[in-house]
Structure 1
Amino acid sequence: MGAVAMNGPQLDPLELEALAKARERRNRPWRLLAASSVLAVLSLIVAIASRAAAHSAAVALSRAQRDQQRVERLTQALAKLRQASTQDWTKLYAPYPLFRTTLQTLAQQAGIPTLRFTDPPNLTLPDSPLRIQTIQANFNKVELTKFLRWLTLAQQQIDRLEVLGLDLQPGDEGWTITCKLGRWEVKP
């Protein structure tokens, strides 16, 4: 058998094994794995921070929108007051002769077939030229959503309409509701 000639110095088998293990360690991508793990953790932290910032921004936006709506309502009320101060207040608080008819029509629009009225005494102050014209609407076996639609329509249709009292009683076939409404007007 012949010996195989090697170029360079001859290494002992233990040294060869140590060199092979060192080369194997150098070939492992542990640095790449460590770097990618660090990047993954950093991106997770950034994602969590971004989500928290987005939530905070959404809450702030919602609060700002509510504030804007409140400011707009107050601005409209102020404009009405300014307009009222320049107008004749007897025209502004003129009686509404179609009070009952309008409420009945709006009830039909809201899907309420029957609506009964009672007339409680109007509220007056002795020294005031104004009174609160009151009317009590009585609903029997009505859906709550239809009643709320009627009330919304009434407040949109009739200026200065206020809810003075409300009694809700649940029933088997719907709600029994008594709603006392009023609006300021000039005494007759």
Structure 2
Amino acid sequence: MRSGLLGGAINPVGRVDPDEFVAEASRGRLLVAPGFCQKPFGCPAGRFNHDCIALGSSLLYAEASGQGETLPPCRNCYIYEIGSLAIQAGASVYIMTSALDIGRHILLPSLEDRRFTHILACVCPYSAHPFTLALEICGLRGYVVTFARGACADYAAWARADEGIKPEQTSLAPEGDEWIRKLLEECQAHHDCGGKRIWRRKSPAA
């Protein structure tokens, strides 16, 4: 695992137990949170919102297992691919937009009623440190993976993105992408086994 706040890094949030992380997905207390800036520019739901037509939900948290309409821009969309894996694993999906909405929809519910206990999020390296700190304060554990391409490089770019002005599409490094997919596939295998412990040679979260 490559840790640190550079682009393409995988940063643990709190003390993460890999087995507990996988189990919490089946209990519906794992939140997978990509950024709106990972959406393609032709997203039929629009970019600066929490919606995904392909996941079959325009609700705040996409939890339904039913699939929505897959239009051409959706077929290679990272959010759709990862969101589908997350939902099949029993996790919830939330597309992050502004800092205010993140506070309202992730931090406060986790702090006040333990809506979520674990998180797997994608953010720019610039905001990774304060974001990780806020998650820890609210009792969340998990992983924050930073973008390798298209990320905000300074406060001015971050402030514009916080209002939905983001001319770049962000993406992860291949290593981070593969790591997330393997982790969610393990969560899905655990979910398919009815939440029973499964043997594995090496956890991707280890």
TM-score range, shorter chain: under 0.3
Higher helix share: 1
Which has the greater radius of gyration?
A: 1
- Normalization by structure 2: what TM-score? 0.21
Higher strand share: 1
